[in-house]
Amino acid sequence: MQRLLLSLLLVSFPSWAQLQLKFEVLRATYGAGSTQADVTERVRSLVSNGGLTLQVNAETLGVDPVPNTRKTLSVEYRQGIFRRTARASDFDTLSIGNAPAAGNAPAAPAAPAESLRITKAQYGDGKRMKDVTDLLNGRIVNARVELLVSNANLGGDPAPAVKKSLVVEYIYNNAATTATIAEGETLRLPVGVAAAATGNLRIVKALYTGGRAGSADVTAAMQRMITADTLEVAVSGATIGTDPAPGVQKTLSVEYDYNGQRQLVTARDGETLRINKTAPASALQVVKALYTGGRAGTADVTAAIQRMINADTLEVAVSGATLGVDPAPGVQKTLSVEYDYNGQRQLVTARDGETLRINKAAPAGMLRILRANYSGGRRAAADVTRAVASRIVSDSIEMPVNGDTLGTDPAPGTVKTLTVEYEYNGQRQVAIVKDAEMLVLPPITTFNVISATYGVPGRTIDVTNTVSARRLGLRIDVPVTGETFGADPAPGVVKTLTVEYEANGRRRVATAQDGETLRAPSSNAVPAAATLPGAVAIPAKGPVVAQTPSGNNGPCLYRQPNYGGEAVCLSAAQPLSSVANWQSGFRSVRMNGAAALDLFEQANYGGRTQTITADTADLMQMPGTWWRYEAAAPVQSVRTR
């Protein structure tokens, strides 16, 4: 009877089994190594008819987290009661879903004929070793890795001025093997497999795509066009021999390998894609050059700049006399040059009186400090060009900004700004960094939180996800309180937040204690209980009674709601722009007789402001404030009235 009832249910409700095999994307990430972009929503939007089929590339996924690097898409999905993860690299096609007939479990993906997995990889001199396991796994293509062992390819130099080696433990077709390769040599995995190409330039994958309108794999066509390790293609359907999306603007993306180094170049219809390792004359092409004084006038000087190129090098003293035209007499003008070199498009600028340089003959990674100014605004400024330039080590700078490191303090007691104009790889750029922050050159392009713990030895909690959620682009800014992390692993004890992170391929550890704010990348956390004129710190021991400095009667700002936690109390007679040193994180205010308290978003009474005129038990409950999406009111300076 029971069997008959079950049979009737299956006949009456045929969709029941299909419902169990419903396809759902749980999470999707796209990137290389530790740099990953969350593309879950983008991938979900591509699901159709209970499945997903897409060609993996930055255009399809709407983001390029690691330009000029082969990336991998990882999709965690559920099909019925089965939870799986699928992966595909750039230019490959990922197909998952499409549930099988009722009563049959989804078939597991067929195992590839060859498989390669890096289980452990370290780079260094034996004592100082850098873990590059994820980086190398991101380089696997068709069960192969071919890479020149160098600091540039392995994300930094763990042991400067010392000969290093790469030690790799890997599994190839279920067999474990170890390989050691010296710096300057080429890693080829699996060991014993010969290099595939007869020449040094090899096309790994080439895709000609119009997005959703259509794409074509043109790898073989591109490989046939190589002559003497050089590829030069005028991008069009006629040249490439196919048009996957008629009437649509398309892009040719070519991933190639040259002497073990993997790179990616792109060009659109009508442009010329070049991969030219022999560097013939005129490989540098000026796309557009404008000499502009803004609304006062602009001149197109493309032809003039192109004529000035000599041996793939351009050096121009910017002036109307040099350029042969003055579109805005008496006005400071800027020369902007968009150029193409080996199929890669870049932009450089320089102002009147400066020199614009595009120098491809210069060594890769050359960093040059042109000008550095350390300023406290109108009060005073100092030229610190030599001090900043002296910090260059291996074409990079990492230095905390303060009077000690720069050797001068032009405006004591004032938050100052370091402005650095520099040149890197022939491109002119400007970096602006405030006191207590970190100057990092070249700028940070990759940043990832590896781990984070909060507590005291023997009593800690993992807060990696919470810290990662505080990421602001390529940095983090985290006020260290139990409230931030939603737990207190050691009540009544000062706890420490320890964050291990990776910036530009280099791992660092930053720490900050309760009441401080941890910023990374940074030299150290800025103390929240700094000693300020007219201010006192009150230990966090639950709700406290407002206190004021002796002889003063001014407002107090508290770290916790309901006037609890540490506090800073201000003299009503002495405005304190130096409250910026407290680095924000306030939740309540007592006025203590003051008529008004102005809170500012920036130091020196700058940025957005909010005026408090009465005791406020929780600043986060105030409607319409500019800090309403923060964990606490991020106040940088205050003024009492």
| CB-based contacts of 89, cutoff 8 Å, min separation 6 | 56, 70, 71, 72, 73, 140, 141
Q: In terms of DSSP bridges, do strands 251-258 and 447-456 run parallel, antiparallel, or are they unpaired?
A: unpaired
Residue 162 has pLDDT above 60, yes or no: yes
pLDDT of 258:
72
The answer to whether the CB of 104 falls within 8 A of the CB of 4 is no
The answer to whether the CB of 386 falls within 8 A of the CB of 370 is no
Please, what is the average pLDDT of the chain?
A: 74
Residue 12 has pLDDT above 60, yes or no: no
| Start-to-end Cα distance in the chain | 86
pLDDT of 394:
59
Question: Each residue of 96-128: pLDDT tens digit?
Answer: 876 433 334 344 343 344 678 899 999 988 888
Q: What span, in angstroms and rounded, lies between the C-alpha atoms of 286 and 325?
A: 18
Question: Each residue of 190-245: pLDDT tens digit?
Answer: 875 443 334 567 888 888 888 777 888 888 888 888 877 788 888 888 888 888 88
Name the band, by pLDDT with cuts 50, 70 and 90, for residue 545: very low
- Which of 155-164, 432-441, 574-583 comes out lowest in average pLDDT? 574-583
The predicted model scores a pTM of 0.28
State how far Cα 538 lies from the chain centre. Answer: 38
Residue 139 per-residue DSSP state: T
Nearest one of 295, 348, 351 to 323, comparing CA atoms: 351
The answer to whether the CB of 98 falls within 8 A of the CB of 48 is no
| CB-based contacts of 428, cutoff 8 Å, min separation 6 | 348, 349, 350, 354, 356, 357, 370, 421, 422
State how far Cα 482 lies from the chain centre. Answer: 28
| Residue linked to tokens 């929240």 | 528
| CB-based contacts of 618, cutoff 8 Å, min separation 6 | 561, 562, 587, 588
Residue 11 has pLDDT above 70, yes or no: no
Question: How many CB atoms within 10 Å of residue 446?
Answer: 19
| Residue linked to tokens 């309180």 | 481
Residue 583 has pLDDT above 70, yes or no: no
Name the band, by pLDDT with cuts 50, 70 and 90, for residue 334: confident
CB burial string 268-283: b at 16+ within 10 A, e below: ebebebbbbeeeeeeb
Residue 580 has pLDDT above 80, yes or no: no
For the chain, what is the largest distance between any 2 Cα atoms, rounded to a whole number of angstroms? 100
Give the highest mean pLDDT range of 278-282, 328-332, 538-542: 328-332
pLDDT of 21:
66
pLDDT of 445:
64
The answer to whether the CB of 204 falls within 8 A of the CB of 263 is no
The answer to whether the CB of 299 falls within 8 A of the CB of 290 is yes
CA distance to 313, 335, 351, per residue, from 323 (Å): 17, 10, 13
Domains plus CATH for the chain? 20-97 (no CATH), 116-189 (no CATH), 201-276 (no CATH), 284-359 (no CATH), 367-441 (no CATH), 447-520 (no CATH), 556-640 (2.60.20.10)
Burial of 531 (0-12, 13-18, 19+ CB in 10 A): exposed
Residue 379 per-residue DSSP state: S
Q: What span, in angstroms and rounded, lies between the C-alpha atoms of 454 and 99?
A: 44
The answer to whether the CB of 582 falls within 8 A of the CB of 554 is no
Q: Which two tokens stand for residue 398?
A: 């990492």
Question: How many CB atoms within 10 Å of residue 565?
Answer: 25
Name the band, by pLDDT with cuts 50, 70 and 90, for residue 381: confident
Residue 226 φ then ψ, to 5°: -70, 130
